[in-house]
Amino acid sequence: MDATDNSPEVKAFWEALADGRFLVRRCTDCSRAHWYPRGVCPFCFSGGTEWVDGSGRGTIYSYSVMRRVQTPYAIAYVTLEEGPTMMTNIVDCSFDDLRIGQAVRLSIQKRADGLSLPMFTPA
Amino acid sequence: MTIKNKAYIAGAFEHPTRHAPDKSVAQLHAEVARGALEDAGLTKNDIDGYFCGGDAPGTGPLSMVDYMNLKVRHVDSTNIGGSSYIAHVAHAAEAIAAGKCNVALITLAGRPRSEGTAGGVPPRTDNPVQPDFAWEQPFGLATVNAYGLCAMRHMHEFGTTAEQFAWVKVAASHHAQHNPNAVLRDLVTVEQVVKSPMISDPIHRLDCCVISDGGGALIVARPEIAKNLKRPLVKVIGAGEAPKHQMGGNVDLTYSAAVWSGPTAFAEAGIKPADVKYVSVYDSFTVTVVIQLEDLGFCAKGKGGPFVADGNLISGQGKLPFNTDGGGLCNNHPAHRGGMTKVIEAVRQLRGEAHPAVQVKNCDIALAHGTGGLLGTRHGAATLILERE
Ligand SMILES: [Zn+2]
């Protein structure tokens, strides 16, 4: 089973990402954006949430470079300009130059199997 | 209703094996159950409550009560990862206080070493149906980098150093040298820890716990029953539990759910952190210990690095002796779940049955605390406070 076809709730996110658009889920009642996207607002429990276009801008909250694997990679939490913090990878960068607080921008990366993923790169 | 004074840990047993290629997981569960019953001086027919976590093969407790042929009237398979067994002690005390059972058996066992199942480095293969899966698994979330994220943030916010984290391993190794069953028995230095290979920044190989087969079991009994047994009396006086997660995207990795489970347990027990003579605290990685000790109130938030440095966790040397069996960092981490062994070593300390080289003098109050799941994503904390009577 693919990581992303587990739920009709978030199908629109993955389809938009494949088209180059990064969506963020926001509550139509309390107006707050959350992560990961849900049909029920995790703050006010409203059933009214909607997709909005994300800016793709954020800052690194924390990161860790996995070294003991064939291809090292940087996992990170990035705090989006819209508010919530999401797990992602930082790509196209020198891992040793990464730092917490660094500005990053969205970089949609296509995996070998064709799946597009929301990753980030230094801004 | 409080569980204070309502139940005793009457039996405790840690399987001596650390590598069990010739045994089944169910068999290990039964062997530790036998060991704990023998330790308590009770028999299988005395058990009327059974508790297990996600390591028990089968649906919740069903296959294990069948395998052991138990006739029980109360079961609980709360699964919050490696801290489950600490929570089970509290749940058993609750069940006893409510009259649902008299003698509860809690078991844990697993064979990750023999089965070659994932350690901390390969990406986790959690259930794709869980709602968080698609937002973490594709990015290579493993166990070690989930804790690496926490350690990096702790260093950034509080100036904690790799050397300070390393002291946790050094202290564990001081204790493990006296444990003949420990996986790692050699003393290590701060320099050896920080010069061991970097696994996932800033976690070195020696910042990690061991991978071992094995298990453990506990018997929790009603006071009238415990007092008729021949073992020293170890009483449950307080407990707390709490989950913590990403809070809708308000991620804060600087603290754990111990900030909630700890105060609940201390309030129920009616004691303060300064009253605790010995702590068993979950040590999946060195950073786990630092964050939990802060959250439990043994030092201020952000001061965990200086607190654990310079041997402060070494029995007979520092102010707060911890994990005197060598912990998960050096001794044993059966089934990748360290909560059971935390309670067992706390019981040894309160009974005065720890190794003489690490036995804490006048050990009358001990605390066991665990973090199950992943500190960096979502986890379940459980705190248990025990008193020697
Ligand atoms: Zn809302």
- CATH number of the domain bearing residue A59: 2.40.50.840
Check which CATH number belongs to the domain holding B76 and give it.
3.40.47.10
pTM of the model: 0.97
pLDDT in tens, B137-153: 999 999 999 999 999 99
Q: ipTM value, please give it.
A: 0.97
Q: What residues in A contact B247, CB-CB < 8 Å? A: 42
> What count of CB pairs under 8 Å joins A to B?
117
Residues 247-286 of B with CB under 8 A from A: 247-251, 253
Flag whether B197 is in a domain.
no
Mean pLDDT calculated for residue range B15-43: 98
Q: What residues in A contact B197, CB-CB < 8 Å? A: 67-68
Average pLDDT, chain B: 97
Could you tell me the pLDDT band of residue A4, with boundaries at 50, 70 and 90?
low
With b meaning 16 or more CB within 10 Å and e meaning fewer, what string describes B224-257? Answer: ebbeebebebbbbbbbbbbebebebbbbebbbbb
pLDDT in tens, B273-300: 999 999 999 999 999 999 999 999 999 9
Flag whether B137 is in a domain.
no
Flag whether A92 is in a domain.
yes
pLDDT at A1 over 80: no
Are B162 and B201 contacting, i.e. CB atoms less than 8 angstroms apart?
no
pLDDT in tens, A19-38: 999 999 999 999 999 999 99
Number of domains in chain B: 1
Are B178 and B357 contacting, i.e. CB atoms less than 8 angstroms apart?
yes
How many of the other CB atoms lie within 10 Å of CB of A112? 5
Flag whether A1 is in a domain.
no
How many of the other CB atoms lie within 10 Å of CB of B323? 30
Of A4, A84, A89, the CB nearest to B248: A84
CB contact under 8 A, A35 and B199: no
- Chain B CB within 8 Å of residue A45 CB: no
Could you tell me the pLDDT band of residue B1, with boundaries at 50, 70 and 90?
confident
pLDDT in tens, B243-254: 999 999 999 999
Flag whether B222 is in a domain.
yes
CB contact under 8 A, B202 and A66: no
Pairwise CA distance, residues B384 & B282, whole Å: 12
- Chain B CB within 8 Å of residue A89 CB: yes
Flag whether B158 is in a domain.
no
Which domain, by its residues, includes B220?
8-115+209-388
Flag whether B146 is in a domain.
no
- Chain A CB within 8 Å of residue B60 CB: no
